[in-house]
Chain A
Amino acid sequence: MLVYARQLPEVVDLVRAFPSQRFVLDHLGKPDVKGGGHQAWRPHFEELASFPHVWCKLSGLVTEADWRTWTAEQLRPYIETALECFGPERLMIGSDWPVCTLASPYMGTLAVVEDALAGCSFEGAGQHPRRHSPTSVESVGVFMDLMPASATAAPMSRLWDPAERSPIACLAQSAIIGCRSPYEPHADRIGRCSPSCSWLRPSIAGCSKTSQQSASTSSGSGITIAVIPKGTTHEFWQSIHAGANKAAKELGIDVIWRGPLREDDRDAQVSEVEGFISRGVSGIALAPLDESALVGPVSGRHEPQDSCRDLRLGPEGRQLRELRRDRQPQGRSHGG
């Protein structure tokens, strides 16, 4: 997403509306470095970083500063804020070459980011990076964290060599594809992400008819919704879990959370779906691992005559487009 800092509030609306779509914020949201815009930029940037499905590209800063007179000190606060808010796992360095050459050559552009990161250590999400003395050489951990987990499987040689202080290539892959291991669960972060389960609500409304048939619920509402994620370990699904629990509390219903441990275990997911169907829960919210394998259980072969089904399922791409059509008539200018 390529936007100016003043457009960040709209970006927050956008990512909140599409919790299963991964986003990358380009150029840190283009803060006005030249005009000293750190204070105006930071709150919205920080809010955006609270969504675990958003990554950020650490790039494009030199051209937001004064092209001729910029200094590393002017850029450092923005780099440190990015590290503090997103953490190394969701940051990737970009050169913005050749546009960067307006203000700095390729090497200088990478060096300013490298120096800023090498000059501080990172202790965890929400923690301000601790700054070392400029000559410290013991803080390369930041760079190691930025290495994609796929590096060993991919023919990418020498991403980071502490001895040579070489910059990093190809970080984009890990962040965009999401193969990095996630953060340790962070209570505050997950709590703030609970809007990501707002997609439960319409499904619940659509399923209330059959809910009368399901018994043994503890909320007293008689409504039980099974939520089946693709996996249960990734931070993204943990945030969905937290959101589901929050929604259940607010709506006075019961939510059962069960999913496969691994995100490639289609059989386990099929068996969960079939189990909940035969159990007769009021509704099932499912993030299908596989379009074809889940068609059988989901298509309603075992459907009782009087049930109603509100399907909001599909591979991520399709879901995105369906949601987009839904939202268009509201006239908000999200632009795409």
Chain B
Amino acid sequence: MGALKRDFSPADLKREMSRCGVDRTIAVQARQTLEETRWLLDLASDHPFIAGVIGWVDLQSPAVDAELEQISAPPETPGCSACSAVGGARISVVRARFAVGSGGSSGTA
């Protein structure tokens, strides 16, 4: 796991993608925090090759409506609006905190 203990930037990913002829990517959350979802959305705003974000919200939170609305708001930036155009629907997809309560660890994303 030590190999993962460094920052992996969009530039790192872009390099790998270019070598394989991959043009765009979907970023998937790894941590179950709203902060990371917002961070990925920000990255998508700054880097058009990030075509979309699979985010996370806590479905059991009392604030889930407001949080969903906040991260689903139509972004002004070209990168995210492109993504929105692809889907024609909200850009964030929720991944439930499935491991909680069933005794498993979260594993890798």
Which listed residue, B20, B26, B30, touches A167 by the CB 8 Å rule?
B20
In the complex, how many residue pairs between chain A and chain B have their CB atoms under 8 Å apart? Answer: 138
Contact between A177 and B87 (Cβ–Cβ < 8 Å)?
yes
Contact with A along B53-96 (1 / 0, CB 8 A): 01000011000100010000000000000110111110001011
Give chain B nearest CB distance to A158 CB in angstroms: 6
Q: Are A172 and B102 in contact (CB under 8 A)?
A: no
Number of contacting residues on A, CB 8 A? 51
Identify which of residues 1-24 in chain A touch chain B, using a CB-to-CB cut-off of 8 Å. Answer: 1-4, 7, 10-11, 24
Contact across chains for B26 and A172 when beta carbons are under 8 A apart: yes
List of A residues within 8 angstroms of B60 by Cβ: 336
Contacts of B86 in A (CB 8 A): 148, 150, 153-154, 156, 170, 173, 177
| Given known contacts A106-B17, A156-B86, A2 and B23 CB-to-CB distance under 8 angstroms | no
The reply to whether A172 and B97 form a contact with Cβ atoms under 8 Å apart is no
Chain B residues positioned under 8 Å from A327 (CB to CB): none
Which of A97-105, A252-260, A277-285, A296-304 touches B?
Answer: A97-105
**Chain B binding site: helix, strand, loop or mixed by DSSP?**
loop
Chain B minimum-CB-distance residue to A63:
B108
CA A170 to CA B95, docked complex, whole Å? 18
Q: Which residues of A have CB within 8 Å of B19?
A: 106-107
Counting CB contacts under 8 A, is B11 at the interface?
A: no
CB–CB B8/A98 < 8 A:
yes
Complex CA gap A99/B29 in Å reads 12
Nearest CB in chain B to that of A176: its residue = B93
Q: In the complex, what residues of B have CB within 8 A of residue A156's CB? A: 23-24, 51, 86
A41 to chain B, nearest CB (A): 15
Which one, A97, A333, A335, contacts B16 given CB within 8 A? Answer: A97
Instruction: Give the Cβ gap from B104 to chain A, nearest Cβ, in Å.
Output: 6
Q: How far does the Cβ of A113 sit from chain B's closest Cβ, in whole Å?
A: 12
Whether A335 and B101, one on each chain, are in contact in the complex, defined by CB atoms closer than 8 angstroms, is yes
Contact A107 B88 (CB under 8 A): no
CA distance A99 to B51 in the complex (A): 20
Q: A233–B82 Cα gap in the complex (Å)?
A: 28
A-B contact pairs, 11 of them (CB 8 A): A10-B102, A11-B98, A96-B109, A97-B13, A105-B16, A148-B86, A156-B24, A170-B86, A176-B93, A333-B102, A335-B98
B residues sitting closer than 8 Å to A (CB atoms) are 1, 3-4, 8, 12-13, 16-17, 19-26, 28, 30, 51-52, 54, 59-60, 64, 68, 82-83, 85-89, 93, 95-104, 106-109
Known: A26-B109, A177-B88. 20 other contacts (CB 8 A): A2-B99, A2-B107, A2-B109, A24-B93, A96-B108, A96-B109, A97-B8, A98-B4, A102-B4, A106-B20, A153-B86, A154-B85, A156-B24, A158-B23, A167-B21, A169-B22, A173-B87, A176-B93, A179-B88, A336-B96
